[in-house]
Amino acid sequence: MSCRIEDYGLIGDCETAALVGRDGSIDWLCWPAFDSDACFAALLGTNRNGRWLIAPADEIKRSSRRYWDNTLILETRFETENGVVALIDFMPPRGKASDVVRLVRGVLGKVKLHMQLVIRFDFGIDIPWVRRTEDGALLAIAGQDMTVLRTPVETRGEDLTTVADFEVSEGETVPFVLTYGPSHLPLPEPINPAQALEDTEDYWTEWSSRCTYEGDSRDLVMRSLITLKALTYAPTGGIVAAPTTSLPEKLGGTRNWDYRFCWLRDATFTLLALMNSGYTEEASAWHNWLLRAAAGWPANMQIMYGIMGQPRLLEWEAGWLAGYEGAQPVRVGNAAHAQLQLDVYGELIDAFHQARVAELKLDDESWALERAVIEHLSEVWDQPDHGIWERRGEGKHYVSSKVMTWVAFDRGIKSAERFGLDAPLDRWRRLRDTICRDVCENGFDSRQNAFVESYGSQMLDASVLLLPAVGFLSASDPRVRGTVAAIEKYMMRDGFVLRHDPREASPEEQPIEGAFLACSLWLADAYVLAGEVAKAQVLFDRVVAVANDLGLLAEEFDPGAGRQTGNFPQALTHIALVNTAHNLSDAKKPVEKPAMQRSA
């Protein structure tokens, strides 16, 4: 059985990532890229679906783990009756090949250990052909995929599994290096594990040193930024929502989606988190990915793309996998990529505007694309869509979608005015005003004194918390205050914010999922904008308190079960944490040049 979601740590090489459990087992790794097939899929099945375990053979009396300072090098310590051993896991920044390095270092006494390597390509179903090379490496091949294990430890095959038993004494280090390569090419060259460790530490230490945030909770902000960097596909600058698929929003449920892709919806939040923290190079790379992905005919623009910008993310089910704690189906690909979600147009134009304000270098063709997008939006803004939460079924007139179409026109107008860009400003201003009236007349329920999920509905939606953040209405507006009060009354569970109104679910569906952590942070942002900084701090502290011991957060948190749920680690959660930390810091310590706000 796999670990709890929060019991995993993350390692990666900025092209893919692996999850390492407290027990010393790597239970998830898609190779060679985030969106590749998994070769370790025990996370969503059983150990037979692929894992790599290194752990003491004797009873573990105590264990602990940590990242080395501001790096992505994970150290897990195991204490047994006979001694203490440290397992150091990392993936060096990508060279000619991708490597997972595991160093077993003796700390005290002498410890017996067991290694179990189960490679199963194609999401845990393909058993590779395994043979030993002339230099003693262990080669595993199935179809297009190949891995090479190099270690001084003697290994043997048992029941389609590679195993080893060995001892480590105090001061001794035993290396294991697993390398991926395409099966039709020569074997990847071996690396020096000790040198790789030094290079990896230097890489992350230098990268982390560029962080300019100096406010409260800096360690958590830094860990969130490192996580965001780890979820970046370095060759293109695309940032995946999470490195996993099908971790359930509700334990045992069916709301299990593939998040190993890049969402346009996260564009502005991501850009601000990076720029405000000093990472302009990464912000530029993300902006350029957005520009390439959205290029083409605006009517064909999608809500998400693959890491290379590819549009087709066909969804299918891996029926041979039992699912995380039985949550089925296990989905690969995401059919929501074909939905109409009007909010992404606003996200794109807002991101480009914020990039200009931050003086990022933009492509000369950027404004032409933006104009084309806004002109297309002028024809479709009043259509029903599937909303920010990607509802499947009939489209609706979602309030948050309509507000983001307003944002598209507003930021287009501001970019044209501020930077002297050519645009039909009078027409855009009329459309902006029309959308504002439409939302206020049809999306506000006077009986509840709150903006609702969609036109004609009485259900609330946490996404409307973003209205003051995007500048649609002031946080002091009575309608915004009423909305916040209604969400506090109906949509909070044990101090956390749900994204869907629980009143819409039938009794047997309660609760339909855990609390959406980004939404709780959006409420904290709304508090900051309303001047209620103390309330914002309490909510922020409540969210960061559920991070695991490594500072990592999933998409959601189930207060009843006291567990993290949803895909892990979740980029949007960590992005929201960074942005809320900046907002709180600015509110407490006014500075001459505050962090950029979305409403700018």
Contact status, residue 261 vs residue 334, Cβ threshold 8 Å: yes
Q: Is 368 a domain residue?
A: yes
Helix (H) / strand (E) containing 161? strand 161-169
Considering the domain architecture, whether residues 398 and 455 belong to the same structural domain is answered as no
Q: Is 330 a domain residue?
A: no
Considering the domain architecture, whether residues 403 and 289 belong to the same structural domain is answered as yes
Strands (E), 297-424: 304-305, 316-317, 331-332
Q: Is 227 a domain residue?
A: no
Which domain CATH number covers 71?
A: 2.70.98.40
Considering the domain architecture, whether residues 30 and 119 belong to the same structural domain is answered as yes
Q: Pick from 442, 471, 493: which residue ends a domain?
A: 442
Q: Which residues contact 555 (CB under 8 A, 6 or more apart)?
A: 242, 247, 249, 259, 516, 517, 518, 565, 566, 567, 568, 570, 572, 573
Among 320, 55, 2, 32, CA closest to 182: 32
Which domain CATH number covers 467?
A: 1.50.10.10
Q: Pick from 124, 156, 182: which residue ends a domain?
A: 182
Contact status, residue 565 vs residue 23, Cβ threshold 8 Å: no
Cis amide leading into 32 (omega within 30): yes
Helix (H) / strand (E) containing 76? strand 74-80
Q: Is 319 a domain residue?
A: no
Q: Is 245 a domain residue?
A: no
CA distance 355 to 411: 11
Pairing of strands 98-118, 173-182: antiparallel
Considering the domain architecture, whether residues 537 and 585 belong to the same structural domain is answered as yes
Contact status, residue 41 vs residue 50, Cβ threshold 8 Å: yes
Q: Is 171 a domain residue?
A: yes
pLDDT of residue 264: 87
CA distance 341 to 402: 10
Burial of 21 from C-beta contacts in 10 A (0-12 / 13-18 / 19+) = buried
Tens place of pLDDT per residue across the chain (600 aa): 679 999 999 999 999 999 999 999 999 999 999 999 999 999 999 999 999 999 999 999 999 999 999 999 999 999 999 999 999 999 999 988 999 999 999 999 999 999 999 999 999 999 999 999 988 899 999 999 999 999 999 999 999 999 999 999 999 999 999 999 999 999 999 999 999 999 999 999 999 999 999 999 999 999 999 999 999 999 999 999 999 999 999 999 999 999 999 998 888 899 999 999 999 999 999 988 988 888 887 778 888 899 999 998 999 999 999 999 999 999 999 988 878 789 999 999 999 999 999 998 877 778 999 999 999 999 999 999 998 887 777 889 999 999 999 999 999 999 999 999 999 999 999 999 999 999 999 999 999 999 999 999 999 999 999 999 999 999 999 999 999 999 999 999 999 999 998 887 655 445 567 899 999 999 999 999 999 999 999 999 999 999 999 999 999 999 999 999 999 999 999 999 999 999 999 998 865 556 667 676
Contact status, residue 227 vs residue 569, Cβ threshold 8 Å: yes
Number of domains making up the chain? 3
Q: Which SS3 state, helix, strand or coil, does residue 402 take?
A: helix
CA distance 47 to 24: 13
Considering the domain architecture, whether residues 482 and 408 belong to the same structural domain is answered as no
Among 114, 180, 113, CA closest to 144: 180
Check the CA dihedral 467-472-477-482 and report its sign. negative
pLDDT of residue 42: 98
Query: Residue 21's beta-bridge partner residues?
Result: 8
Q: Is 457 a domain residue?
A: yes
Helix (H) / strand (E) containing 404? helix 399-419
Considering the domain architecture, whether residues 168 and 23 belong to the same structural domain is answered as yes
Considering the domain architecture, whether residues 37 and 75 belong to the same structural domain is answered as yes
Q: How many CA atoms lie within 13 A of 274 on its CB side?
A: 29
Other CB atoms within 10 A of residue 150 CB: 20
CA distance 336 to 89: 35
Considering the domain architecture, whether residues 165 and 290 belong to the same structural domain is answered as no
Considering the domain architecture, whether residues 456 and 421 belong to the same structural domain is answered as no
What pTM was computed for the model? 0.96
Q: Is 231 a domain residue?
A: no
Q: Which SS3 state, helix, strand or coil, does residue 331 take?
A: strand
Give the pair of three-digit tokens for residue 295: 């290029």
Considering the domain architecture, whether residues 355 and 500 belong to the same structural domain is answered as no
Q: Which residues contact 173 (CB under 8 A, 6 or more apart)?
A: 103, 104, 105, 106, 194
Range(s) of the domain holding residue 78: 5-182
Q: Pick from 147, 182, 217: which residue ends a domain?
A: 182
Considering the domain architecture, whether residues 499 and 535 belong to the same structural domain is answered as yes
Considering the domain architecture, whether residues 139 and 26 belong to the same structural domain is answered as yes
Pairing of strands 145-150, 17-21: unpaired
Q: Which residues contact 14 (CB under 8 A, 6 or more apart)?
A: 93, 94, 229, 230, 232, 233, 234
Give the pair of three-digit tokens for residue 44: 């969503």
